[in-house]
């Protein structure tokens, strides 16, 4: 029995030791190679097997967690001191030094001046005409002047005498007619400011936000672009200002919700049904009012396909998303092969990135001014959707072309380093709007964070470029990609 007990005791000790070794020994885990895609199933397949893989979009975009990503958060936490970006500052100084002399003043004609030259005197009795015919070749409105403020004031207070649903588009918009004959485009409030874009929703299925249109106008002005049309907020009484003026199919879509609120949904290709209705509280409705551009008969516009347009497809990618050298394709096509247009597209990309706007498929220019004019900054309803997400791919024109205006860099650096951050300037500007607060604090904090991301991307361009002195350009005329014997494209490639 003693021998048997010894054997049993030995077996028990052996089993216990083996158990301890299994518990404390490091697990042998095989990690996927960083150079190969990992989609969950890694076992080998037979020679005739076809794997079915959904491709993820390669992106360096970041998701911010913590208090800054909370939509209802505040700016109480102390911010980290801003980076200095010495490479960018040095390159900016070099760009200024390479310009031998200040640019001689050039004439910046307005639509009114050109109309007078062609047709004689042009009447500009009202605030609307003063704004529309004051549009110039280089900007939507001048730094100094009262035309834009007059238009904003008119859209905020003038009585409404007529409404028409705008044709086209995926979501409901109304054309508002004021008693003095002026018109504006009305985008209604669909949901509270605290409701962000759902992470699993594509940019092209997101609702449009009226407050994003308002904030975009103010941001464009603060960046010194002045290429966006004037937009203001206003609260309407649906019963008096819309229902009493509605006719036809629009009138048939009004109803009282179970909560007792007055609602309507209009007629359009998407999001115009009872489940996507626009409701008042109980009949008060907030929205954005955007001023109309001049009639196309007086100031015709050309529509251009954006070179970095997204595919607007759940699985298909655009060419620029797969080709890191895509900018070389753009550089060879008119009007991006010389002059200001490619630099304008980079400005537009930075503007969109600061707002988080991925919905940029086309843009317009005024034909009257030819190709040496600015792209009109229009349609920003899908901006400011996610405060905690920075979509770096919006900056593709910057990091693929590695070129930018010196004036844009100077503006970004001044806001980044202070004394007043871009968020503070934007908060102060938006406070003047009738529907303030237009943006919640996390979206304002995101603007500052994204300014730093733009400057970081520019630093990477300067480091990687074989010609860093060609990254920041003090003058548009310094850029030209035309070779002596190179034919100029007629511009239809991106039309």
Active site residues: 359
Q: Exposed, middle or buried, 280 (CB in 10 Å: 0-12/13-18/19+)?
A: buried
CA separation (Å) from 362 to 174, 310, 435? 21, 10, 29
Tokens of 127: 């605030």
Alpha carbon distance 175, 312 (integer Å): 27
Tokens of 382: 């899908």
Alpha carbon distance 359, 384 (integer Å): 11
The answer to whether 388 touches 68, Cβ cutoff 8 Å, is yes
Q: Which residues in 281-308 are b (16+ Cβ under 10 Å) and which e?
A: eebebbbbbbbbbbeeeebebeebebbb
Alpha carbon distance 282, 237 (integer Å): 9
For 24-92, the DSSP string reads: HSPP--PPPPTTS---S--S---TT-----PPPPP---EE--SGGG-TT--S-SPPPPPP--HHHHHHH
CB neighbourhood size of 2 (10 A): 6
Tokens of 112: 């009114």
Q: Which residue has the tokens 């509270």?
A: 192
Residue 199 Cα to chain centre, angstroms? 17
Tokens of 102: 């200040």
């Amino acid at each position: 029995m003693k021998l048997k007990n010894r054997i049993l005791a030995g077996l028990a000790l052996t089993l216990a030791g083996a158990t301890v070794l299994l518990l404390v020994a490091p697990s042998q885990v095989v990690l996927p190679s960083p150079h190969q895609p990992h989609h969950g199933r890694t076992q080998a397949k037979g020679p005739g097997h076809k794997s079915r893989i959904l491709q993820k979009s390669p992106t360096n975009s970041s998701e911010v967690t913590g208090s800054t990503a909370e939509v209802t958060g505040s700016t109480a936490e102390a911010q980290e001191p801003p980076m200095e970006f010495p490479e960018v500052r040095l390159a900016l100084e070099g760009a200024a030094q390479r310009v031998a002399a200040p640019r001689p003043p050039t004439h910046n004609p307005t639509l009114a001046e050109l109309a007078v030259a062609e047709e004689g005197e042009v009447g500009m009795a009202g605030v609307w005409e003063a704004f529309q015919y004051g549009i110039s070749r280089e900007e939507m409105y001048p730094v100094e002047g009262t035309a834009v403020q007059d238009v904003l004031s008119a859209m905020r207070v003038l009585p409404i005498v007529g409404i028409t649903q705008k044709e086209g588009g995926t979501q409901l918009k109304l054309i508002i007619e004021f008693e003095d004959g002026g018109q504006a485009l009305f985008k209604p409030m669909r949901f509270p400011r605290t409701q962000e874009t759902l992470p699993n929703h594509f940019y092209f299925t997101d609702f449009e936000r009226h407050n994003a249109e308002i904030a975009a106008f103010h941001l464009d002005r603060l960046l010194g672009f002045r290429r966006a049309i004037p937009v203001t907020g206003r609260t309407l009484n649906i019963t008096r200002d819309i229902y009493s003026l509605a006719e036809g199919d629009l009138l048939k879509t009004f109803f009282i919700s179970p909560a007792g609120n007055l609602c309507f949904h209009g007629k359009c290709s998407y999001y115009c049904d009872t489940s996507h209705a626009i409701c008042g509280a109980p009949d008060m409705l907030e929205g954005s009012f955007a001023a109309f551009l001049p009639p196309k008969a007086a100031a015709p516009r050309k529509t251009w396909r954006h070179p970095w347009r997204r595919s607007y497809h759940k699985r298909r990618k655009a060419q620029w998303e797969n080709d890191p050298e895509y900018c070389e394709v753009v550089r060879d096509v008119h009007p991006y092969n010389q002059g200001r247009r490619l630099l304008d597209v980079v400005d537009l990309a930075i503007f969109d990135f600061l707002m988080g706007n991925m919905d940029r498929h086309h843009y317009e220019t005024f034909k009257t001014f030819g190709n040496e004019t600015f792209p009109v900054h229009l349609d920003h309803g899908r901006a400011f959707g996610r405060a905690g997400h920075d979509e770096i791919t919006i900056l593709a024109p910057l990091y693929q072309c590695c070129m930018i205006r010196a004036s844009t860099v100077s503006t970004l650096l001044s806001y980044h380093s202070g004394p007043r951050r871009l968020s503070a300037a934007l908060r102060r500007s938006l406070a003047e709007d009738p529907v303030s607060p237009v943006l919640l604090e996390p979206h304002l904090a995101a603007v500052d964070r994204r300014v730093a991301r733009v400057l970081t991307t520019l630093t990477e361009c300067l480091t990687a470029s074989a010609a860093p002195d060609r990254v920041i350009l003090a003058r548009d005329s310094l850029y030209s990609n035309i070779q002596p014997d190179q034919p100029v494209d007629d511009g239809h490639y991106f039309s």
